[in-house]
Amino acid sequence: MPAYTWLFEIKDSVQEGDVVVNVPEAFLASTHQKVVASREALQLVAYLQSLKQVKLPGEKSPLFLYKREQPAAAGDGASPVLNGAELYANNCQSCHQPNGEGLKGAFPPLKGSKIVLNDDPELMVDIIMNGYTGRMQEGFGEMPAVGTLNKLTPGEVAAIMNHERSSWGNNSRKVTEEQVKVIMEKVKKQ
């Protein structure tokens, strides 16, 4: 997938009317720089949004096609109930597949994965938040820092992990939002 760099401009200061694209600072030469979408980029997005997704027979529409909505709180001041399967579909499924089996030679399986099944969730949180290159020698691609790039909350990460740890025959201990929050602080890249 090309980066389409010609559709964006890197600026030191933003002007009125500029549409800034949030890019992690690690990808910019200076922390003061901003990536601004060109008129053509905005037109391309408008065109893509105008397309109608044809409903396939017997298939549910893919969840990732729609805007991310915050679930409503339980009403008693408790945290909202997060849908791990939906979060997985939105953030992980395109590579690791709906069945958790990945794609041979491209994306490793989560089904039966030692990392997913490990009782110590730290490595799994680290991979979600910071990416992973540990299986490139086996021919798998580099995993991007999905959690950081998508600004996932500790609750969302915990919901995804619990879905992965209890799906496709996996049977591992659940993690809590608080556990994940502590680990996220520990593995946060400076």
pLDDT in tens, 59-97: 555 555 444 455 555 555 556 689 999 999 888 988 899
Q: Which amino acid is at 142?
A: E
Give the three-state DSSP class for 157: helix
What mean pLDDT is predicted for residues 100-107?
86
Mean pLDDT for the stretch of residues 146-168: 94
Q: Which amino acid is at 53?
A: Q
Same domain, yes or no: 95 and 16: no
Same domain, 41 and 118: no
Please tell me the distance from the alpha carbon of residue 147 to that of residue 130, in angstroms, as a whole number: 7
Average pLDDT, the chain: 84
Domain extent, residue 39, equals: 7-50
Tell me the one-letter amino acid at 18.
D
Q: Could you tell me if residue 62 is inside a domain?
A: no
- Asked whether residue 129 falls in the same domain as residue 180, the answer is yes
Report if residue 70 sits inside a domain. no
86 and 44 within one domain: no
119 and 138 Cβ atoms separated by less than 8 Å: no
pTM confidence score: 0.60
Same domain membership, residue 85 and residue 176: yes
